């Protein structure tokens, strides 16, 4: 009897946990905000931070830097083109010919 | 006009009120006036959306509900290219300027004799640009800068390979050419440039390849960069200052371009802007929406992912962000927030005149905000079948999610409405200020969605989701038809005066006229005119190919013409264009549009209509090599 009660209790506990987790799985509705404009919450069973989790994107910092570097280089080439144009009135696209 | 007024009139009114514009020779007003003045003439069509309101409304009524049955082809032009033909031509001072798909040729035609090409610009581009375009090799149009005593009038064109070119409007010769985007990192250009004052505004594309979005202003005189603002990252990069969102602090203010991301994920965070712009010359604010965060796999980027998916209002001179309202925090569906912005002045429910901006979003919601400060005025579903949200909390501006239709790793979301293609995409819609109705070209597509993990490698696709798309609940899911709708909407009452189902998504957009007509092209190759008051179909014409651009109208020598590009493509056309069969290919569009090929094939060109086909060649001797006939 005691055993059964215990088992029932365990089952109930599990069921309750399931309920919570089910309810939780549907909990992120966007309305619980840490701060104005910051209302994201992890979905139940999913981490607050993905770093170190099985969902860690493991981004390579070198890859992440490529766009920023590319834009800097384009801006430098454009500035050289514009400068030449302002000085000479002639547009030369090929920066090697400037 | 019921209190509504064009931006041009607003500008004039403010000049009268101040009574100083002319006297003091305000450089701001003067710099704006030329393009505004040109846009007020029925003989011109000088920018995307027709004028700075972006309402694509014409006061021309020569073609109207009584005689539209007599609308016939006047003349046509083939661009010589296939793939999707988006946008619409410009007409300035009797010359039409035509854009095309990759490699982005530009053609100038004299309206007195459009058979003779006045000039053409055929850029040489690195063909590798094709491989990093997510959704066909499209381009949304050209911009015109009217010129001044220092610099000639210019036609500006954005190229898929990331270059921006300024061509002399007179002869098409290159005036300046700058690099805006680098295809080596997956960054391309499909957006139409936009001219305000002496600035050329250029957006960005590539969120499907992890490109961090930015908008740039160039000086029309010499191509020099005036400002460049990003969608994610540090406040300085985004253009966020002390007064950002001061009237709506609940939208969020400082630091969120970093705080709503984990680590450096914002560096490849998307938020590109490849849609449309609008501008208010009194407020000197530029309006546009930023796109989706990267990757599509939501689990890989915890956080609200600001300031992607945001309606933005930037000071035109400094680029500073005055207000920003994030429509879709932490996107889980690729609801790229780049859609059309249309300005209107209307009385709100309390009877107060408001300066408004209305924006039908991919996420299934059409937003109307006070364009002076970003106050939320209305947020209505584009269709009652939207299920990812329960509603928008008007006080906080938060869209309340229905978690059942969210997406996440190790889960396949089903029957999600709208799909990633949105209930509205790149269509440039119209607004009739007399009727106070917006004419919306709507999609009716839902989806299943399952994300997967993937690494980021600059220059490679960075999507991370597999999609199946199909008609929404009101369509025919067995036969994959009924994928679109066209609706007339009042932004204050939230009511739809009329709506009609279309076989395929109404992808291109609409034109409204004072002739009580609304025109639009369809993917299955029809050009249609409906009574804008009640939606009745009054006329249609079978084009050579489906339309993904929007119609325009102009008057020449006293005759009203209506023009539209044909040439199916874009995202809905990728299956047909690239000959794909796998229903999940083309980011899921191939399955949804499997039947498109039964109504249309590729094309590329322009059709111009007038009443009874009246046109330049009514005198058949025009443009003849000789009229002399030698008879034996």
DSSP A42: P
How far is A86 from B301, CA to CA, in rounded Å? Answer: 44
Q: Output the CA angle B581-B584-B590, nearest 5 degrees.
A: 50
| A93 burial type by CB count under 10 A (0-12 exposed, 13-18 middle, 19+ buried) | middle
Q: What is the β-pairing status of strands B559-566 and B605-611?
A: antiparallel
Whether residue A38 lies within 8 A of chain B, CB to CB, comes out as: yes
Residue A93 domain flag:
yes
- B262 and A86 within 8 Å at the Cβ level: the answer is no
Total domain count for chain A?
A: 1
Neighbours of B195 (CB within 10 A): 21
Residue A90 domain flag:
yes
- Please enumerate, as own/partner, the contacts of B494-498 that have beta carbons within 8 Å and a separation of 24 or more: B494/B378, B494/B380, B497/B437, B497/B533, B497/B534, B497/B535, B498/B534, B498/B535
Whether residue B400 lies within 8 A of chain A, CB to CB, comes out as: yes
Which residues, in sequence order, are bridge partners of residue B531? B517
Q: How many CB pairs below 8 Å do chains A and B form together?
A: 152
pLDDT at B201: 98
Task: Tell me if residue B334 is catalytic.
Answer: yes
How far is B358 from B369, CA to CA, in rounded Å? Answer: 7
User: Closest Cα partner for A89 from B482, B152, B99, B372?
Assistant: B152
DSSP labels, B475-496: SBTTTTB--EEEEEE-TTT--E
Please write the tens of the pLDDT for every residue from B467-512: 999 999 999 999 999 999 999 999 999 999 999 999 999 999 999 9
How far is B170 from B601, CA to CA, in rounded Å? Answer: 35
Residue A91 domain flag:
yes
DSSP B432: E
CATH classification at residue A71: 4.10.160.10
From B403's Cα to the closest Cα of chain A, the distance in A is: 5
Please answer whether residues B77 and B30 qualify as being in contact, where contact means their C-beta atoms are separated by less than 8 angstroms. Answer: no
Please write the tens of the pLDDT for every residue from B111-136: 999 999 999 999 999 999 999 999 99
Tokens of residue B254, six digits: 């400082």
Neighbours of B62 (CB within 10 A): 17
**Quick one: closest CA in A to B458, which residue?**
A63
pLDDT tier, B5 (very low <50, low <70, confident <90, very high otherwise): very low
Residue A15 domain flag:
no
Residue A97 domain flag:
yes
Beta strands in B305-360, from DSSP E residues, in sequence order: 310-315, 321-326, 342-347, 353-360
pLDDT of B430 > 80? The answer is yes
Tokens of residue B537, six digits: 């179909």
Mean pLDDT of B31-60: 94
Mean pLDDT of B571-599: 97
Q: What residue numbers bound the domain in which A97 lies?
A: 60-98
- B175 and A91 within 8 Å at the Cβ level: the answer is yes
Mean pLDDT of B193-217: 98
Residues 486 through 525 of chain B touching chain A, CB cutoff 8 Å: none
From A12's Cα to the closest Cα of chain B, the distance in A is: 25
- A61 and B264 within 8 Å at the Cβ level: the answer is yes
pLDDT of B10 > 90? The answer is no
pLDDT tier, B32 (very low <50, low <70, confident <90, very high otherwise): low
Backbone φ and ψ for B78, nearest 5 degrees, come out as -95, 135
Q: What is the mean pLDDT of chain B?
A: 95
Mean pLDDT of B385-400: 98
pLDDT of A68 > 80? The answer is yes
- B253 and A37 within 8 Å at the Cβ level: the answer is yes
pLDDT of A8 > 80? The answer is no
Q: At what angle do helices B27-40 and B7-18 cross, to 10 degrees?
A: 140
User: Closest Cα partner for B550 from B394, B428, B437?
Assistant: B428
Whether residue A82 lies within 8 A of chain B, CB to CB, comes out as: yes
**Quick one: closest CA in B to A29, which residue?**
B401
Mean pLDDT of B187-211: 98
Select the residue of A26, A48, A82 nearest B403 (Cβ to Cβ): A26
How far is B12 from B21, CA to CA, in rounded Å? Answer: 9
Please write the tens of the pLDDT for every residue from B508-567: 999 999 999 999 999 999 999 999 999 999 999 999 999 999 999 999 999 999 999 999
Residue A49 domain flag:
no
From B460's Cα to the closest Cα of chain A, the distance in A is: 11
pLDDT tier, A27 (very low <50, low <70, confident <90, very high otherwise): confident
Select the residue of A29, A71, A91 nearest B177 (Cβ to Cβ): A91
How far is B46 from B96, CA to CA, in rounded Å? Answer: 10
DSSP B23: I
| B490 burial type by CB count under 10 A (0-12 exposed, 13-18 middle, 19+ buried) | middle
- Please enumerate, as own/partner, the contacts of B554-557 that have beta carbons within 8 Å and a separation of 24 or more: B554/B42, B554/B43, B554/B44, B554/B45, B554/B60, B554/B91, B555/B42, B555/B43, B555/B60, B555/B62, B556/B43, B556/B91, B556/B94, B556/B111, B557/B112
How far is B319 from B536, CA to CA, in rounded Å? Answer: 43
Which residues, in sequence order, are bridge partners of residue B555? B560
Instruction: Report the largest interatomic distance among the alpha carbons of chain B, rounded to a whole angstrom.
Output: 86
Which residues, in sequence order, are bridge partners of residue B5? none
Place of tokens 């202003």: B217
Residue A40 domain flag:
no
- Percentage, residues of chain A above pLDDT 70: 73
Residue A55 domain flag:
no
Residues 164 through 223 of chain B touching chain A, CB cutoff 8 Å: 174-180, 182, 184-185, 187, 210-212, 214, 222-223
Neighbours of B81 (CB within 10 A): 18
User: B334, B375, B383, B425: which one is catalytic?
Assistant: B334
Please write the tens of the pLDDT for every residue from B335-367: 999 999 999 999 999 999 999 999 999 999 999
Whether residue A89 lies within 8 A of chain B, CB to CB, comes out as: no
Neighbours of B412 (CB within 10 A): 12
Place of tokens 């220092």: B150
From A31's Cα to the closest Cα of chain B, the distance in A is: 7
pLDDT at B576: 96
Which parts of B187-315 fold into alpha helices (H)? 235-238, 256-259
Whether residue A29 lies within 8 A of chain B, CB to CB, comes out as: yes
User: What is the pTM (predicted TM-score) of this model?
Assistant: 0.93
DSSP B193: P
């Amino acid at each position: 009897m005691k055993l059964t009660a215990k088992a029932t209790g365990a089952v109930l506990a599990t069921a309750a946990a399931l309920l919570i987790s089910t309810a939780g799985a549907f909990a992120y509705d966007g309305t619980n905000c840490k701060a104005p404009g910051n209302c994201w919450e992890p979905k139940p069973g999913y981490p607050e931070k993905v770093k170190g989790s099985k969902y860690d994107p493991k981004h390579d910092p070198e890859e992440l830097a490529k766009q920023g570097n590319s834009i800097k280089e384009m801006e430098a080439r454009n500035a050289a083109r514009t400068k030449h144009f302002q000085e000479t009135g002639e547009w030369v696209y090929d920066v090697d010919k400037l | 006009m019921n209190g509504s007024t064009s931006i041009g009139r607003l500008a004039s009114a403010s000049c009268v009120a101040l009574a100083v514009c002319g006297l003091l020779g305000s450089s701001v007003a003067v710099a704006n006036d030329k393009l505004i003045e040109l846009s007020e003439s029925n003989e011109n069509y000088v920018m995307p959306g027709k004028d700075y309101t972006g309402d694509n409304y014409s006061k021309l009524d020569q073609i109207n509900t009584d005689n539209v049955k007599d609308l016939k082809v006047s003349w046509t032009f083939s661009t010589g290219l296939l793939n999707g033909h988006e946008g619409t031509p410009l007409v300035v001072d009797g010359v039409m300027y035509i854009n095309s798909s990759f490699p982005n040729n530009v053609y100038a035609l004299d309206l007195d004799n459009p058979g003779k090409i006045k000039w053409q610009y055929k850029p040489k581009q690195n063909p590798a640009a094709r491989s990093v375009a997510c959704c066909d090799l499209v381009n949304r149009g050209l911009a015109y800068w009217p010129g001044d005593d220092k610099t000639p009038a210019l036609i500006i064109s954005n190229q898929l390979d990331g270059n921006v070119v300024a061509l002399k409007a007179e002869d098409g010769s290159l005036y300046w050419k700058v690099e805006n985007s680098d295809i080596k990192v997956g960054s391309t250009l499909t957006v139409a440039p936009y001219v305000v004052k002496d600035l050329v505004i250029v957006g960005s594309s590539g969120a499907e390849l992890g490109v961090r979005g930015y908008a740039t202003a160039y000086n029309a005189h010499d191509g020099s960069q005036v400002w460049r603002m990003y969608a994610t990252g540090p406040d300085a990069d985004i253009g966020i200052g002390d007064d950002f969102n001061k009237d709506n602090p609940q939208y969020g203010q400082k630091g969120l371009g970093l705080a709503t991301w984990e680590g450096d994920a914002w560096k490849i965070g998307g938020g590109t802007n490849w849609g449309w712009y609008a501008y208010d010359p009194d407020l000197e604010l530029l309006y546009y929406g930023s796109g989706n965060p990267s990757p599509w796999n939501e689990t890989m980027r915890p956080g609200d992912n600001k300031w992607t998916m945001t309606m933005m209002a930037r000071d035109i001179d400094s680029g500073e962000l005055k207000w920003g309202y994030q429509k879709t925090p932490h996107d889980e569906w690729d609801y790229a927030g780049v859609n059309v912005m249309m300005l209107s002045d209307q009385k709100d429910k309390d009877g107060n005149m408001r300066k408004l901006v209305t924006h039908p979003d991919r996420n299934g919601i059409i937003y109307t905000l006070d364009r002076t400060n970003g106050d939320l005025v209305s947020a209505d579903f584009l269709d009652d079948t939207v299920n990812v949200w329960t509603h928008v909390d008007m006080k906080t501006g938060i869209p309340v999610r229905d978690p059942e239709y969210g997406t996440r790793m190790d889960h396949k979301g089903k029957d999600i409405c709208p799909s990633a293609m949105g209930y509205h995409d790149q269509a440039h819609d119209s607004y009739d200020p007399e009727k106070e109705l917006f004419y919306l070209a709507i999609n009716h597509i839902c989806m299943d969605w399952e994300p997967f993990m993937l690494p980021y490698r600059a220059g490679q696709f960075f999507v991370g989701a597999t999609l199946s798309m199909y008609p929404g609940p009101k369509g025919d899911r067995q036969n994959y038809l009924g994928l679109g709708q066209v609706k007339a909407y009042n932004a204050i009452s939230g009511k739809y005066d009329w709506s009609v189902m279309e076989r395929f998504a109404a992808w291109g957009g609409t034109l409204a006229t004072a002739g009580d007509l609304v025109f639009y092209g369809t993917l299955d190759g029809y050009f249609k005119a409906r009574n804008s008051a009640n939606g009745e179909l009054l006329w249609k014409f079978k084009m050579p190919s489906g339309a993904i651009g929007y119609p325009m109208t102009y008057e020449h020598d006293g005759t009203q013409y209506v023009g539209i590009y044909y040439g199916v493509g874009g995202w809905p056309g990728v299956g047909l264009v690239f000959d794909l069969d796998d229903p999940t290919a083309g980011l899921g569009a191939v399955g949804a549009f499997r039947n498109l090929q039964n109504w249309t094939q590729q094309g590329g060109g322009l059709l111009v209509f007038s009443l009874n086909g009246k046109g330049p060649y009514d005198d058949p001797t025009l443009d003849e090599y000789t009229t002399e006939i030698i008879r034996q």
